[in-house]
Every structure is written in structure tokens, then in C-alpha cells.
Amino acid sequence: MAHSLSAKKRVRQNEKRRTINRARKSQVKTQVKRFEAALSSGDAEAAKEQYRLVVKKLDKTAATSTMHKKTVARKKSRLAKQLNALKAKKV
């Protein structure tokens, strides 16, 4: 248990950051699920729109250091690959 005032403050700050980061990661996961649902429905336009929203949410989480920039880049790349595969299959 923290004894000094600064250590107690750090515990409070860590708890606050943890809550915010978990909420952000949860929002990203929800958005990815919506994108995957659009992919599985086979609707390329809906999937494209959902991809745009996922990328926006991922970029925001990377900007706030909730997720590392390279982790976000990897996730975006994998999602884009899935979207392009759907588009290629439609043509």
C-alpha cells in the first residue's frame, strides 16, 4: 500500500487512466466487431464505411498512447486486407 502522498496520488492517477484506457480499447473492439459484421454480410459499401470508422477510432487511441502506433498500424493493415479481399471477391 502506498504511504507517501505522491505515491497515493500516483495510485489515484493510475486507476483513472486505467478506466479511460479500458473504455477506449472497448470502443475499438466494438467498432472492429461492427466492421467484421459488415464484412460477413458481404456488403462492400457498408464494410467500407465501417472500416473508415474503425480507422478513425484506432488513430484516436494511438494519438492518446492508449495503444502503440505500430500496434494500430498492424490492426489497420489487417482490416484493410480483409476489406480488399471482399472487394476483389465482388468483382
Q: What domains, with CATH codes, occur in the chain?
A: 5-90 (1.20.58.110)
Alpha-helix runs per DSSP H in 1-91: 5-41, 44-63, 69-90
Dist CA 26 CA 57 (whole Å): 11
Residue 91 has pLDDT above 70, yes or no: no
- Quick: pLDDT tens for 25-61: 999 999 999 999 999 999 999 999 999 999 999 999 9
What is the reported pTM? 0.87
First to last CA, the chain: 61
Portion of the chain with pLDDT greater than 90, in percent: 93
**31 and 50 Cβ atoms separated by less than 8 Å:** yes
DSSP 64: T
Residue 14 has pLDDT above 70, yes or no: yes
